[in-house]
Amino acid sequence: MELSALYSQKILDLAGNAQQPPRLAAPHASARKVSRVCGSVIEVDLNIEDGVIVSYGHDVSACALGQTSAAVVAREIVGTPVDQFRALRDQMHAMLKDNGAPPAGKWSDLGYLEPVREYRARHMSTLLVFDAVVAAIEKAQSAESVEMVR
């Protein structure tokens, strides 16, 4: 498969028409991830209440694949329980690295990224948003557990 075949019209549409949720003014946690391979960068902010992501913002500087992942996440993440998002991140890693099945349901547009599995150099930018969100979840939960101890 030629590299240009990765950039299907659906991927270009998702990346090009994505709404950019603004960064949050007072997030419970933020995280920044950078792809050393291509230089893609994403910074995410989120608020969590009762184990559910209730607000989300990001700043993305990535290729079309990273933008597509970020666009689907931005569109669908609010209302997602943190454990379900962790499972989604694991499923995306498995889809690209272990020939796993693509996500279904509200996350099914991530299936358009399935051809990325053939291009290892593109895995990191595609997965960046998932790793950043999970890092922010872990920061928020760590801060919450410190507050509970006080």
Contact 83, 51 (CB under 8 A): yes
Mean predicted confidence (pLDDT) in 14-19: 87
Pairing type for strands 41-49 and 52-61 reads antiparallel
Using only C-alpha atoms, what is the Rg of the chain?
15
- Pairing relation of β-strands 29-34 and 52-61? unpaired
Q: What is the mean pLDDT of residues 10-15?
A: 90
Q: Is the model's pLDDT at 74 over the cut of 80?
A: yes
148 confidence band (pLDDT: 50, 70, 90):
very low
**C-alpha angle with apex 70: 15 to 43, nearest 5 degrees?**
125
- Per-residue model confidence (pLDDT) at position 48: 97
Cβ–Cβ < 8 Å for 69, 126: yes
The pair of three-digit structure tokens given for residue 124, joined into one six-digit string: 């990191």
pLDDT at 61: 93
- Predicted pLDDT at 142: 86
- State the Cα–Cα distance between residues 108 and 111, nearest whole angstrom: 6
